[in-house]
């Protein structure tokens, strides 16, 4: 069995935010498998299906993004899975252009708190991860631009902290996401 986990936050107010792209990808997979992710199991909403010759368990942790490891650890233990071979985790990535996918078999959390929680709970960085790019392809408020666009990295403006600049980047992503969802 393969465990496919989409990261996000529970609640209708977060349903279509960029940070919930893991949940949205899982919803699309469920739709294609003709299943509904609504069975409460091991602190997650789950559904079982079949992809090719593999039995799959789709899971959306209900523990909030930053505590995703609690649900993932329970699911891995309950189903006696080996994270190196059986776990796939999907999440949003602000450092990749909108719609870009990056798949890796192992690696660090890259600063993502949900992934950090999973690594801490499982005691390993060795599991397949799918990062879905959410960075805007246009300037965002206060003249900031996403990294990797050939521009200088985002620098805080006079009197503003890096945290404020990061908030501005997120606001730009939310705006782009809302435009894409129309």
Active-site residue set: 19
Q: How many Å apart are CA 114 and CA 111, to the nearest integer?
A: 9
How crowded is residue 108: how many other Cβ atoms within 10 Å of its Cβ? 12
**What stretch of H or E contains 172?**
helix 162-181
Distances (CA, A) of 89 to 80, 97, 99, 132, 141: 17, 19, 17, 11, 31
Residue 38 CA to residue 150 CA, distance in Å, equals 43
- Phi, psi torsion values for 49, nearest 5 degrees: -160, -170
- Residue 94: C-alpha distances to residues 2, 66, 91, 150, 174 (Å): 27, 16, 10, 16, 11
Helix (H, G, I), strand (E, B) or coil at 57: strand
């Amino acid at each position: 069995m393969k465990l496919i986990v989409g990261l996000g936050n529970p609640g209708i107010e977060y349903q279509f935010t960029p940070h919930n792209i893991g949940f949205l990808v899982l919803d699309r997979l469920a739709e294609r498998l003709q299943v509904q992710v609504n069975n409460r199991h091991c602190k997650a909403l789950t559904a079982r299906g079949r992809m090719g010759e593999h039995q799959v368990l789709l899971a959306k942790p209900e523990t909030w993004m930053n505590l995703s490891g609690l649900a993932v650890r329970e699911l891995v233990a309950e189903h006696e899975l080996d994270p190196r071979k059986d776990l796939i985790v999907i999440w949003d990535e602000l450092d990749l252009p909108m719609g870009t996918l990056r798949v890796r078999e192992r690696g660090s959390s890259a600063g993502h708190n949900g992934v950090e929680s999973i690594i801490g709970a499982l005691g390993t960085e060795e599991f397949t991860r799918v990062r879905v790019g959410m960075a805007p392809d246009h300037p965002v408020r206060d003249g900031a631009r996403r990294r990797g666009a050939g521009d200088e990295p985002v620098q805080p403006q006079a009197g503003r902290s890096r945290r404020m600049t990061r908030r501005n980047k997120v606001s730009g992503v939310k705006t782009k996401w809302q435009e894409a969802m129309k």
